[in-house]
């Protein structure tokens, strides 16, 4: 959220003058099921990366040109489980968030 | 060349997501997938997308003041006029470009997002006008078959037998009685347009259509079946699974109308009966308990079969006959 010293600095008509400010709101707090990836089973096909509605899966292209699924961004993952359903090798399991409470 | 996965991952690593985290759509919603794929494709092809959105789930939950989930220029005006708004932006762009007042050389492309309320019912006249005037824009409809943002009221897109708050299943009626409006045919009948259907079960088919629509000089329209997990009463994770079933049961055939030429882009090898699709979605559950539910299913089955046969014949008959 942009900070202004005075109301006079605020843009008119509800214009948001900075892009992608929604990142300051962590939707990960909504989650009740946590996706866990088994990296040994994962074939790095990136289907989960493509489907994730919350852009909460990080992926990279390595130097040798192969894709790699790095992991989940739990700040934003809402725990819908779409990644677990589209995974062709069932490498992603959904576990209740209560198991991770300390 | 169609976009591939590596291109997309490289784009996100280099330039960030065009549609970012932190939007407040429901977990498992299919609308952000549509928004993300469309804007990523435009960026990967080297265009600068400018986005407009009609009032709807996607608009209200991505731009809650003072937050925005868009990493690209974005405009929202009202429910009924997203096509008019984006055509105005496009006309301004063309005018500035002709007078040499633009500071960028990158080609700018205009994408409008609308839900089914803002396209089938409320926004139809502005969309028809914008398509008729031949503005160079791409309109993407994410079709969740009802006014889901306000709580499951029926729209022109709700299928028969569905339980909606304004047309509930009761002792006499089996939910909505009327059939779904065939929006792709309506837009395709404007003739100078590229119109297509897509589904969230097939992202690369959708992205190929987005590419075709962006490269088409003139208006383009893509209708994407994007389930609302909340009011379709399906599990949060099952959106793509359900749309896959919709394609396999001929409920949502994937085809395109390029200036009058029909082409079916996906032909499933084995078709499933429509009953399987209806039984997998919770919003039909009440209608299935109705004594007349068999008639609804028979009527739907007959309709989807006839439509598929008709599409095959159209594809055969219109081969190479571009209207404009």
Asked if the Cβ–Cβ distance from A79 to B27 is below 8 Å, we say: yes
Q: Please calculate the CA angle A71-B241-B301 and round it to the nearest 5 degrees.
A: 170
B104: how many CB neighbours lie within 10 A of its CB?
Answer: 8
Q: How far is A59 from chain B (nearest CA, A)?
A: 7
Q: Has residue A11 been placed in a domain?
A: yes
pLDDT 10s digits, A15-62: 888 888 999 999 999 999 999 999 999 999 999 999 999 999 999 999
- B272/B249 Cα distance (integer angstroms): 5
Chain B residues within 8 A of A81 when measuring between CB atoms: 28, 235-237
Please give the interface size between A and B, counted as residue pairs whose CB atoms are below 8 Å apart: 119
Q: Which segment of A3-12, A75-84, B13-22, B285-294 scores lowest on mean pLDDT?
A: A3-12
Q: Has residue A31 been placed in a domain?
A: yes
Residue A12 buriedness (CB in 10 A; 0-12 / 13-18 / 19+): exposed
- B47/B45 Cα distance (integer angstroms): 6
Asked if the Cβ–Cβ distance from A82 to B28 is below 8 Å, we say: yes
Chain A residues within 8 A of B203 when measuring between CB atoms: 50-51
pLDDT 10s digits, B145-156: 999 999 999 999
C-beta of residue A26 within 8 angstroms of C-beta of residue B22 = yes
Confidence at residue A83, expressed as pLDDT on a 0 to 100 scale: 94
Find the residue in A nearest to B229 (Cα). A80
Q: Has residue A1 been placed in a domain?
A: no
Segment holding B7, helix H or strand E: helix B5-15
Asked if the Cβ–Cβ distance from A21 to B239 is below 8 Å, we say: no
3-class DSSP assignment, residue B25: coil
Q: Has residue A55 been placed in a domain?
A: yes
Q: Has residue A57 been placed in a domain?
A: yes
C-beta of residue B293 within 8 angstroms of C-beta of residue B278 = no
Chain A residues within 8 A of B28 when measuring between CB atoms: 53, 78, 80-82
Q: What domains lie within chain B, and their CATH numbers?
A: 5-317 (3.40.50.970)
ipTM associated with this complex: 0.92
Which CATH number covers residue A68? 3.30.70.20
C-beta of residue B48 within 8 angstroms of C-beta of residue B108 = yes
pLDDT 10s digits, B92-125: 999 999 999 988 888 999 999 999 999 999 999 9
Query: Is the model's pTM score more than 0.90?
Result: yes
Q: Has residue A93 been placed in a domain?
A: yes
Q: Has residue A2 been placed in a domain?
A: no
Chain B residues within 8 A of A84 when measuring between CB atoms: 237
Q: Which domain holds residue A25?
A: 7-100
DSSP B68-125: --BSS-EEE--SS-HHHHHHHHHHHHHHHHHTT--S--SPEEEEEEEESIIIIITTHH
B20, B29, B236 member nearest A20 (Cβ) = B20
- The token duo for B25 is 């759509």
Asked if the Cβ–Cβ distance from B27 to A46 is below 8 Å, we say: no
pLDDT 10s digits, B256-280: 999 999 999 999 999 999 999 999 9
pLDDT confidence bin for B1, thresholds 50/70/90: low
The number of folded domains in chain A is 1
Report CA-CA distances (Å) from A49 to A28, A56, B206. 17, 8, 16
Q: Has residue A64 been placed in a domain?
A: yes
pLDDT confidence bin for B207, thresholds 50/70/90: very high
DSSP conformation class of A16:
-
Find the residue in B nearest to A46 (Cα). B5
């Amino acid at each position: 959220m942009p900070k202004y010293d005075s109301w006079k600095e605020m843009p008119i008509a509800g214009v948001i003058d900075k892009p992608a400010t929604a990142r300051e709101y962590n939707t990960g707090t909504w989650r009740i099921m946590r996706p866990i990836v088994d990296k040994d089973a994962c074939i790095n096909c990136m289907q989960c990366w493509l489907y994730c509605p919350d852009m909460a899966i990080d992926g990279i292209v390595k130097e040798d040109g192969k894709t790699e699924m790095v992991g989940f961004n739990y700040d934003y993952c809402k725990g819908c489980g779409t990644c677990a359903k589209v995974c062709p090798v069932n490498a992603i399991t959904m576990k209740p968030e209560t198991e991770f409470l300390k | 060349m169609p976009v591939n996965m590596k291109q997309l991952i490289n784009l996100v690593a280099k330039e960030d997501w065009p549609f970012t985290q932190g939007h407040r759509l429901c977990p498992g919603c299919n609308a952000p997938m549509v928004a993300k794929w469309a804007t990523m494709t435009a960026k990967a092809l080297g265009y600068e997308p400018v986005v407009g959105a009609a009032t709807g789930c996607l608009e209200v939950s991505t731009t809650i003041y003072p937050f925005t989930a868009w990493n690209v220029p974005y405009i929202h005006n009202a429910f009924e006029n997203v096509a008019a708004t984006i055509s105005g932006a496009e006309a301004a762009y063309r005018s500035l470009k002709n007078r040499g007042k633009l500071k960028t050389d990158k080609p700018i492309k205009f994408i409008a997002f609308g839900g089914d309320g803002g396209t089938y019912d409320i926004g139809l006249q502005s969309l028809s006008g914008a398509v008729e005037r031949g503005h160079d824009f791409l309109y993407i409809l994410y079709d969740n078959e009802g006014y889901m943002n306000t709580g499951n009221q029926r729209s022109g897109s709700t299928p028969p037998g569905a339980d909606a708050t304004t047309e509930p299943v009761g002792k006499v009626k089996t939910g909505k009685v009327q059939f779904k409006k065939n929006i792709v045919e309506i837009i395709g009948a404007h003739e100078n347009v590229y119109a297509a259907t897509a589904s969230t079960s097939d992202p690369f088919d959708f992205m190929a259509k987005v590419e075709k629509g962006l490269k088409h000089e003139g208006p383009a329209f893509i209708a994407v079946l994007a389930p609302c997990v909340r009011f379709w009463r399906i599990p949060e994770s099952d959106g793509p699974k359900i749309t896959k079933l919709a394609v396999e049961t001929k409920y949502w055939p994937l085809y395109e109308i390029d200036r009058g030429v029909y082409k079916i882009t996906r032909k499933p090898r084995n078709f499933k009966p429509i009953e399987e699709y209806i039984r997998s979605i919770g919003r039909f559950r009440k209608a299935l308990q109705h004594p007349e539910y068999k008639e609804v299913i028979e009527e739907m089955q007959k309709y989807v079969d006839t439509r598929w046969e008709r599409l095959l014949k159209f594809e055969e008959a219109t081969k190479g006959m571009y209207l404009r």
